[in-house]
Amino acid sequence: MAEQVKSGAAAETMSVHVITCAGRLSAGQLKTIAEAAERFGTGEVRTDAQGSVKIPGIAAGRAAECRAFLEEAGLPTGAAGRHIRPVTACNASACRHGLLDADDLAREIHERFVLGWRDVILPAKFKISVGGCPNNCAMPNLCDVGVIAVRGGYRLLLGGRGGRRLLEGRPTQRVFADKEEMLAAVERAIQLYREEGLERERFGELIERLGPAYVEERIAGEI
């Protein structure tokens, strides 16, 4: 896995990323991360847009030890490379517009896809985000798959991405009334990307290449 990356220009030091579920961490987990940063790194931590926490400045020879320390405390590491990246979610459970508990759904996606597919290498990174309403606060429209709550269920946004070539996710025609059906569709989207994606091609580019109608039929399980 590519959880350890070079830190800056110095090849002698590495960073270890802690995978979080939508950036939610307990006080105890934060203490463990702080201890790891002081013991193995420079004492500094950094967060990223996915809400994962990076511990930089770890001597290359001690990165495995740092990972083991974190994993033993129940903190998975990874969050980089050609994998499903840590799920993000808005704050719907505390928002008057929220149509679902985004924390609960993010937890399911975290367990099932982020951790469940942790060792699976994909054509490129794959981001999933949960929104409690169509307002896009956690930017599900700029993720490979965005799950947004709408009246009557869930709609998926397919193929968004940020970066130099911005793509807005395409909303599925279908509203998934049932959560399990929606999650099965997300799984089919990842499977399609794994099977048919070209190296370094993002999911949005695959949709452009194969056609949105075909992709939506595939992820709906209709073909």
Residues that bind ligand SF4 (CB under 6 A): 90-92, 95, 97-98, 131-133, 135, 137
Which residue's CB is nearer to ligand SF4, number 42 or number 91?
91
Which residue's CB is nearer to ligand SF4, number 57 or number 131?
131
| Amino acid in the structure at residue 182 | M
| Amino acid in the structure at residue 20 | T
Distance of closest approach, residue 130 Cβ to ligand SF4, in angstroms: 9
Which residue's CB is nearer to ligand SF4, number 96 or number 164?
96
> Among all chains, which residue has been given the structure tokens 């013991």?
39
Distance of closest approach, residue 101 Cβ to ligand SF4, in angstroms: 10
Distance of closest approach, residue 91 Cβ to ligand SF4, in angstroms: 5
Sign of CA dihedral 13, 63, 126, 72: negative
Distance of closest approach, residue 106 Cβ to ligand SF4, in angstroms: 11
Given strand 46-47, what is the order of strands in its sheet? 4-7, 10-18, 53-59, 46-47
What's 112's DSSP letter?
I
CA atoms within 13 A on the CB side of 6: 5
Which residue's CB is nearer to ligand SF4, number 123 or number 132?
132
Which residue's CB is nearer to ligand SF4, number 154 or number 193?
154
Which residue's CB is nearer to ligand SF4, number 45 or number 148?
148
d(CA 44, CA 63): 15
Distance of closest approach, residue 207 Cβ to ligand SF4, in angstroms: 23
In terms of Cα–Cα distance, which of 119, 23, 6, 16 is closest to 69? 16
Distance of closest approach, residue 110 Cβ to ligand SF4, in angstroms: 17
d(CA 153, CA 113): 20
Residue 109's SS3 state is helix
